[in-house]
Amino acid sequence: MSESPELAPSDPSLTADNSRRSFLLRAGLFLNAIALTVFAVPIVGYLLAPMRRASFLKWISLGPVTGFPENQTRLAVYSNPFRLPWDGSTADIPCWVRRLTGDSFQVFATNCSHLGCPVRWFPESELFMCPCHGGTFHADGARASGPPPRGLYEYPYKVVNGELWIKAGQMPVMSLSEA
């Protein structure tokens, strides 16, 4: 576009090999790049803080095993270990505890494996039923019918000194299937 000679700069200080102004421009660009990086990296880090760990899992006590009668499935509620003081009741997380015999348990997330609605246990028909799209699960958490692509999410558990512990802390979704 600048092929016409009269547009060429007449002031020799404006030519490309004039080092002072061109240095200032380059230095300005460089400094801005540094400033932007120094500014942006902590901001991005701040924004990504919730993803600082791939999974939020801790051992949580659900109380003494005597609270769960054998051959029954009961709702238990724990306080999420990663809760913030202003979470209120949203951090009171429920789970279904099935005690088979002795120290043999199964602990399920209440979230349906289809779209996360809270499944309800019906002891009469021995089914978990989802209120949203009618997915059902057997007593052992296996998919019985409906749209769910898999069984209920199950928490790892252990019994220590007569107390039931589960490894939990995050809402189970498809790609966090370790519940």
Partner 1 sequence: MAKLSTWVATIGDWLSLRLGASGQPSDGREYRVPSNAISWSYVFGSATAVVLLLELVTGLCLALVYAPSADNAWESLLYLNYHQPLGWYVRALHYWGSNFLVALMIIHLLQVFILGAYKYPRELTWISGVLLLILTLAMALTGEVLRFDQESYWDLAIGFALVGRTPLIGGFLVHFLMGGPIIAGATLARMFTVHVLLLPAAILALTGLHLLMAYRLGISEWPMPGRFVNRDTYLANYRDQLARDGEPLIPNGLRNDLFFAAIIILAVIVTSAILGPKGPNGAPNPSIIRTRPHPDFYFLWMEALMGLLPSWLDTPFAFLVLPLLVLGLIALPLISPIGERHILRRPLSLVIAIVALTVLAATTWLGTSDPWSPHMDAWSSTPTPADYLKGRTPLEIQGAILIQSKQCRNCHALGGAGGMRGPALDNTATRLTRNELIRQILQGGGNMPAYGKALKPAEVDAIVAFLMTMHPPNEPPAHNSARPAGLPDTGG
- Contacts with partner 1 by CB under 8 A lie at 48, 50-51, 54-56, 75, 77, 80, 82-84, 86-94, 110-112, 114-120, 122, 124-127, 129-134, 136, 138-139, 144-149, 169-171, 173-176
Q: How far is the CB of 61 from partner 1 (least distance, A)?
A: 16
Nearer to partner 1, 26 or 120 (CB): 120
Q: Name which of 171, 73, 153, 76 is nearest 121 in CA terms.
A: 73
Nearer to partner 1, 21 or 133 (CB): 133
Q: Which residues contact 63 (CB under 8 A, 6 or more apart)?
A: 76, 163, 164
Nearer to partner 1, 51 or 160 (CB): 51
Q: How far apart are CA 78 and CA 113, in angstroms?
A: 20
Q: How far is the CB of 4 from partner 1 (least distance, A)?
A: 17
**Share of the chain residues as helix, strand and coil, in percent rounded to the nearest 5:** 25, 30, 45
Dihedral sign (CA 77, 79, 85, 91) = negative
Nearer to partner 1, 43 or 160 (CB): 43
Which amino acid belongs to residue 20? R
Q: How far is the CB of 55 from partner 1 (least distance, A)?
A: 8
